[in-house]
Structure 1
């Protein structure tokens, strides 16, 4: 069973992420973890937030686009 987090809880979980940044990602539809909208309430599945963070792991400072060029 999934545990769901509020935007505030996601911000507590990931240092440096703000509610404004999460809102911007949702608005733009780019970046950020997947979310669900129940009426006006926004929630995030904890496992998907963790997967999103783990998916950002890098071994160097070069951007993926720079490495492909």
Structure 2
């Protein structure tokens, strides 16, 4: 049994609100949460890594980035 919770893209969609096709685009562009491909047609994510990715995207304001 795996001690890490692997989840499929549809579960990532439920957790984040990011649609499955948008997740595919993020993977293609090398963005988004880290993913795993145990077979050519299987995509899995670790729940903890998806949640960490969402946490890392926290913002303190909207719009363009603050100018230092």
**Once superposed, what is the RMSD of the aligned Cα atoms?**
1.4
TM-score (norm 1): 0.83
Give CA deviations for 1:2-34 in whole Å, capped at 9, x if unaligned.
Answer: 10110001001112x11100000111112x111
Describe how 1:1-69 pairs up with structure 2 within 5 A. Answer: 1-15=3-17, 17-30=18-31, 32-39=32-39, 40-63=41-64, 66-68=65-67
TM-score (norm 2): 0.84
What runs of 5+ residues in structure 2 fail to find an aligned partner? none
Q: Secondary structure at the match of 2:44?
A: strand
What runs of 5+ residues in structure 1 fail to find an aligned partner? none
4+ aligned runs moved over 6 Å, structure 1: none
* Whole-angstrom CA distance in 2 between matches of 1:60 and 1:67: 8
Give CA deviations for 1:21-48 in whole Å, capped at 9, x if unaligned.
Answer: 0000111112x11100011200000000
